[in-house]
Structure 1
Amino acid sequence: MKRCNLKLLTLTLLTVFGLSSCTDLEIEETDSFISEGFQGLEDPASALNQLYGQVYGAWADQAARYALYEVTTDALLVPTRGADWGDNGRWRKLHQHEWGLEEADIITPFNQYNANQLLASQILDSRSGATADVAAQAHFLRAYNMFTILDLFGQVPFRDVTLSSSEVPAVLSGAEAVNFILADLDAAITGLPSVAAATGDLKRASKAAARLLKAKVLLNRHIYDNQLALAAGELSIPTPAASDMAEVISLVDAITAEGYALEDDYFDMFRDTPDTETIWWAEACVCNRIYNGLHYNSTGLGGGGWNGFSTLAEYYDLFEGNPNDNAFTDVLFSAPASNQEERRGGVPNIGNGNAGSNVGVGFLIGQQYALDGTPLQDRQGGPLAFTRQFVDGSGNVSLINNSETTGIRVQKYQPQYNDGFGAHNLMFRYADAYLMKAEAMFRSGGDPTTMINTLRTQRGASPLGSVTESDILDERGRELFAEGWRRNDMVRFGAYLRNWELKGDGQAGNTTRLLFPIPLPQLLANPNLVQNPGY
């Protein structure tokens, strides 16, 4: 684990333990118990601020939630380069689908998001006396945190804060969990403010954010209602209800009615400037997203990159363009030499004078350049040219003993616009909602080809003659790469269990991996929890 994620994990743990001192609670790392005599929070507004901070920190981390949603898919992997990024195999096991019961990246999000939903419940307790606005925000954040636990683990421990702490938390799963989350979101939609696109405080939830999350829950409801049976291999993915798909479309239309729309300049959305796509952003450092894949010599900002995260060649090849070249021909990032689509980004051969402007956007492959146009070198003096394949010193495909230059790097936040450590981290944006509507149309028997082609044309990609289910998944992969949703999409489309480069032997088709294991300390603390199938 590198730099910022260590800080974030430390801060998260300190925050969780610090909760007891400011709210008369006792929250242990491995459970969600509160102390006897809870009588409400003295300052629910301050508790809400704390809750947002915890949610932001968990989102911005490169480990834990982000690793489970991206590194366990075809989108990202973290090879071991010499002694770097070995970390006892933690990153390799995630990508290979060979994780065990007590991986830090599994335990941490279970603890974080359960602690978060408990704090939201305490804010919502009538004895806390929260204002209507604070309560609406807490309803949204409780739904968001419970949704995350349900999506990853299939079971949500829920503590009724009016009961004694001697009562073990109930466990919600399937339809019961979904209905609870949807009720919270309906309360949030009623109470949250309506914030037009590119206006207002979008780092706090609005009606649009709650509608997007509700649409996401409904789009996945047929998965969540059957998670345990799917993980046990007892059931194939069922057909979603037509009423759910109709409501997804209605919710997205309501978001559109508030002025949210597709942006023309794709990478400008990942700057700290107003745009019509951002629905909810986290006030949290984008440093992990910038530096976790850059080489040590990529930029002088922040002392260089950390040289870890990379994407698979097969994921890169989802995008239109030359598979071996995506060089820009000017310093304005506007003239790709290979005629690739805009989302593929490119590598400039010189900077524009701004620190970090020599670093490209999108996917970085081939020779990298310094600010003055000098070809960069790796630490051994060889060309700093990122390659498509992951190979060891003998040239064998491998996740260990890689050199410093293997793997295509991913760069969504350009360092010259974020000073290397900007704090404008996107969580929800309109293109996600737009593609959810297209998917809901398809699953309802409609034809979303025109919708998909509108997006593709705006992104500089060729229109499709027709759209299949796999086309929609691929389009979501192109549009939302490295934004923390890949696992959720792949599970829903039945693609999470397929084989991909460097997945572990025998893991393709292993339904156990559709859910992560419940951490053992939680099983001991709460007998209402049952270990997920196969663990």
Structure 2
Amino acid sequence: MKRNNIIKGFLYLGIASFSIGCTNLDEKILDGVSNDTSGGGTINTAALLETAYNGLRDFNGQGGVYALNEMSTDAMVGPTRGGDWDDNGVWRQIHTQTWAPDHGEVRGAWNSLLSNVYNCNLIIENGGTTAQKVEARFLRAWYYYNIVDLFGQAPYRPAGSALTEDPKVWSRSEATDFIISELEAIVNSLPNRTANDASIANKDAAHFLLAKVYLNKGVFKASNPAGPYTFDAADMTKVVQHVDAITNTLSTDYWSNFETNNNTSSEIIFSSKNIQGGDGGNMQSKWRMCNHYNQSPSGWNGFTTVADYYSTFNTSDKRISYSTPTILSNFGNPVGFLVGQIKNGKNIDAKGSPKDANGNAYTNLAAGTLNLKDRNGNPLVFTSAITLITSGTTLETAGIRGIKYVPDAVNIEKPDNDLVLMRYSDALLMKAEAITRGGTGTGVATILSNLATRAGVTAAAATLDGIYAERGRELWWEGWRRNDAIRFGKFLAARALKPYASDAKYLLYPIPADALFNSNLSQNPGY
């Protein structure tokens, strides 16, 4: 496949009314121009729709959109551990809010989101079936929502416009209006959510996303990204109405949402599907990114939570630790947040099987009978204390690790866990917040009580501060912390490992330098 005008057109073209014959992910057209006619001049819209769905996996890996949403907050940090995990400071820059327009994870997120918009547009404008077009419009709205949230302005191309022209650009307010109008136009045409499979665009997912947009409308419509934000009562009532239209129910077990067979959870509204032994959607990063090299499963000894964030949980909160005989047998430790002495598990894989002093693997020992050590022979005891640059005896042990998804012991690298993108507990907390901000509705205390009962803790206060704290506990590491922190006015504040208030420019990420070849784009203020 040939690529022309890559820099100018790279991933920003939006709607394109032309034909391509290549849909392989590794050879996907990045610039909107193809001289390849081997496909007979027709577009395989079914394959493109699959590609558009697979784009949801970009929310899964440790970097990109996920890192921008979690590591930029009080919830997650990627410290440098001697020669490990420095990567030119890219993770520390995200956590300390000191990134610049050349940051690789910022560029990766921008390119990913707009590439996925592009794939959706090919389906919509080039002969997709009615059902395919509706699903593609939903997915496009989801990707645009994230562009608006992270970057503010959003490139688009009107149908039929010349490919030699620069794409036009919506302001944040205009893009917000587009997302709402698209979702309201298609919500009733989407299928009902399929039981035991939330991976297909559905009515409940559209209602969830509409609730999310209306809840953030005061932020997205503000003349200044730093506010002040006005949360209109009518918009808050819309949030309540869309949440009430969702047919999901809370699961009785919080961790059923993250098990290997989590597709059966009644709580998951929308997900990215994985099949055991398939390509896995990079789900293994959910345990690799934090686990130590000698753990089962082994990991990359990287990311941790911050002690102050962990301290917001009651130690009896079921959401921070989950253990079954099978989990302990396979992995030696519970899942959730890991602190203290780490033990061996029988499912020690090829990426880093720990050895005894004689070089023999520990797999012949009963899981949990051995206290693991780090690579220098020190006890592998995870501690709450963490610094941005660790050294000495705590080099490999500093920081509380997090495992949100139960590793799939049958296939660690290509697991069965679906990636959760929308969950009913989030919808209920949006409703509680919207009512508290002036929307019409009742039941805030009941929502908080139900979530607390499931978690085995006392209910949060029915105030905005209480709801913000509960969102942090209920949705830890699920990709919403930055969005919440901005809406609640907490994002820029001084905190542990960032002892200063950040400049307001960091409420939006910069437009990557390459994208500015589009003359209709301008850099976000302050960069």
TM-score range, shorter chain: 0.7 to 0.9
Q: Residues 353, 78 of structure 1: CA spacing in aligned structure 2 closer, same or farther, 3 A cutoff?
A: closer
Q: Which residue of 1 aligns with 2:351?
A: none
Q: Which residue of 2 aligns with 1:270?
A: 258
Matched, 1:458 2:454: yes
Tell me by how many angstroms 1:404 deviates: 0.2
Matched, 1:341 2:317: yes
Task: Specify the code of the residue in structure 2 equivalent to 1:97.
Answer: Q
Aligned partner of 1:173 among 168, 171, 174: 171
Superimposed CA distance per residue, residues 458-481 of structure 1 (whole angstroms, 9 cap, x where no aligned partner): 2111124x4221111110110111
Q: Which residue of 1 aligns with 2:74?
A: 74
Matched, 1:415 2:407: yes
Aligned partner of 1:240 among 208, 213, 231: 231
Aligned length: 471
Tell me by how many angstroms 1:187 deviates: 3.0
Aligned partner of 1:519 among 509, 512, 523: 512
Matched, 1:202 2:198: yes
Distance 1:498 1:436 in 2: 23
Q: Which residue of 2 aligns with 1:330?
A: none
Tell me by how many angstroms 1:115 deviates: 1.5
Would you say the 8 A contact 2:72–2:482 is kept in 1? yes
RMSD of equivalent CA atoms: 2.7
Matched, 1:382 2:378: yes
SS of match in other structure, 1:102: coil
Q: How does 1:203-218 map onto structure 2 within 5 Å?
A: 203-218=199-214
Tell me by how many angstroms 1:452 deviates: 1.0
Matched, 1:472 2:467: yes
SS of match in other structure, 2:82: coil
Distance 2:93 2:462 in 1: 34
Q: How does 1:254-265 map onto structure 2 within 5 Å?
A: 254-255=245-246, 258=247, 260-265=248-253
SS of match in other structure, 1:499: coil
Tell me by how many angstroms 1:139 deviates: 0.6
TM-score by length of 1: 0.83
Q: Which residue of 1 aligns with 2:272?
A: 282
Q: Residues 109, 21 of structure 1: CA spacing in aligned structure 2 closer, same or farther, 3 A cutoff?
A: farther
Matched, 1:250 2:241: yes
Would you say the 8 A contact 2:69–2:480 is kept in 1? yes
Task: Specify the code of the residue in structure 2 equivalent to 1:296.
Answer: Y
Task: Specify the code of the residue in structure 1 equivalent to 2:160.
Answer: T
Superimposed CA distance per residue, residues 107-160 of structure 1 (whole angstroms, 9 cap, x where no aligned partner): 0111111121122122111xx222111011011011011111110000100012
Would you say the 8 A contact 2:305–2:402 is kept in 1? yes
Distance 2:97 2:456 in 1: 35
Superimposed CA distance per residue, residues 357-408 of structure 1 (whole angstroms, 9 cap, x where no aligned partner): x1312111111112142211111111111001114xxxxxx43436100000
Q: Residues 374, 533 of structure 1: CA spacing in aligned structure 2 closer, same or farther, 3 A cutoff?
A: same
Task: Specify the code of the residue in structure 2 equivalent to 1:291.
Answer: R
Task: Specify the code of the residue in structure 2 equivalent to 1:532.
Answer: N
Task: Specify the code of the residue in structure 2 equivalent to 1:493.
Answer: F
Matched, 1:313 2:307: yes
Q: Residues 158, 148 of structure 1: CA spacing in aligned structure 2 closer, same or farther, 3 A cutoff?
A: same
Q: How does 1:29-48 map onto structure 2 within 5 Å?
A: 33-34=32-33, 42-48=43-49
Q: Which residue of 1 aligns with 2:338?
A: 364
Superimposed CA distance per residue, residues 41-86 of structure 1 (whole angstroms, 9 cap, x where no aligned partner): 5221221111111222x11211010110011100000111110001
Would you say the 8 A contact 1:351–1:372 is kept in 2? no
Q: Residues 351, 174 of structure 1: CA spacing in aligned structure 2 closer, same or farther, 3 A cutoff?
A: closer
Q: Residues 351, 381 of structure 1: CA spacing in aligned structure 2 closer, same or farther, 3 A cutoff?
A: farther
Distance 2:481 2:452 in 1: 19
Q: Which residue of 2 aligns with 1:327?
A: none
TM-score by length of 2: 0.84
- Residue segments in structure 2 that go unaligned for 5+ positions in a row: 1-10, 274-280, 345-366
Would you say the 8 A contact 2:219–2:230 is kept in 1? no
Would you say the 8 A contact 1:137–1:192 is kept in 2? yes
Q: Which residue of 2 aligns with 1:529?
A: 521
Task: Specify the code of the residue in structure 2 equivalent to 1:515.
Answer: L
Distance 1:120 1:66 in 2: 21
Task: Specify the code of the residue in structure 2 equivalent to 1:355.
Answer: N
- Residue segments in structure 1 that go unaligned for 5+ positions in a row: 1-12, 322-339, 392-397
Structure 1 segments of 4+ aligned residues over 3 angstroms from their partners:
23-29, 32-41, 350-354, 416-419
Q: Which residue of 2 aligns with 1:337?
A: none
Task: Specify the code of the residue in structure 2 equivalent to 1:438.
Answer: A
Superimposed CA distance per residue, residues 225-246 of structure 1 (whole angstroms, 9 cap, x where no aligned partner): 12x6124xxxx33221111111
Percent identical among aligned pairs is 37
Task: Specify the code of the residue in structure 1 equivalent to 2:233.
Answer: A
Distance 2:390 2:172 in 1: 39
